[in-house]
Amino acid sequence: MKEYRKSIGVSQAELAEGICTQAFLSLIEKGDSYPSIDIAYWLSSRLGINIDYLMESSFDNNHDYYLEVEEQLREASTSRSYESLQQIINTEINNYVFQKGYKRKLLLWHQGIVDFFYYKNLNKALHTLDVALNLEGKNTKAYKMNLEIMICKGNIYVDTGDYKTAINIYEEVSDILLLQENYTDIYLHIRLLYNLARTHMLLNQYELSIQYCEKAIKMCHKNYIFYALGDCYIILGLNLQKSEKIAEAKDEFNNGLIAYKLQKNISGIHQTTLKLSELESYLPN
């Protein structure tokens, strides 16, 4: 064995590490062990594979079905088709696939959305989201989902006018992300920055809101992401308009319009075009 290691250039430490890696993977496959986030990231980097693939698709025969339902839920939520969202939840709520862990968490999260935006029941929505947050989850999917649920709670508080509670929740998410250096979900970071910007704007804290907008926009450009880019430009424009910087506001609305056109966001294009027409009356001839 010693000569074999020497011939392929593998040290004793490297061999031991490889054996430990394979042994740990075997335990995961059998369901006898669940890696922490740090160990999962280490394993995925050593093996050169996506961490979600490591944690889910390799060991879960129902993963593809879960992904299909998750996509349906997200599409219905994004389009605000709350009746469709409730129908999907009703179909899956008793499905054995969605009885525990992050999969159950997914259904409860979207049920909370329906409870608030469709049934207009604030207390029930917050309770449902808290139940979802308290469900155990031992992988990155559950970790990310908890942060998304927290942002969702913040958004609900914004819609009820409780801006300070919303900001406290957003800042808690921000603090959690700062502690997790290996967690690099750019989309979640951008969503958080956008919501902080929007809420500070509603509190008439325009300069602070502008700072969050600029951070989000910079992150979008740096990572070639159009997600929320148009929305961030619009919030930036609104801040400038409220600060009576009309010409600068118009520039940012135009940037938002370009982003919406690239995304083929019809609603965004329509609303921004109306906003630009409104601004024309503020500008000198």
Asked if 139 contacts 102 with a C-beta cutoff of 8 angstroms, the reply is yes
Within 8 A by CB and 6+ apart from 219, the residues are: 186, 189, 190, 193, 225
Q: Please indicate whether residue 137 or residue 15 has the higher confidence score (pLDDT).
A: 137
Question: Which of 7-21, 184-198, 254-268 bottoms out in mean pLDDT, i.e. has the lowest?
Answer: 7-21
- Report the mean per-residue pLDDT for the chain: 84
Q: Please indicate whether residue 4 or residue 24 has the higher confidence score (pLDDT).
A: 24
CA-to-CA separations, 4 to 14, 16, 20, in angstroms, rounded? 13, 14, 19
The predicted-structure confidence for 15-66, as pLDDT tens digits, reads as follows 344 445 455 545 444 444 445 555 656 655 655 555 555 555 445 567 889 9
The predicted-structure confidence for 207-259, as pLDDT tens digits, reads as follows 999 999 999 999 999 999 998 999 999 999 999 999 999 999 999 999 999 99
pTM, two decimal places: 0.77
Tokens for 27? 């335990």
Among 137, 225, 229, 138, smallest CA distance to 184 is for: 225
Among 186, 188, 216, smallest CA distance to 201 is for: 216
Query: Rounded to whole angstroms, how far apart are CA atoms 164 and 116?
Result: 19
Percent with pLDDT over 70 in the chain: 75
The predicted-structure confidence for 90-112, as pLDDT tens digits, reads as follows 999 999 999 988 999 999 999 99
Q: Look at residue 162 and give its three-state secondary structure.
A: coil
Place of tokens 């325009």: 206
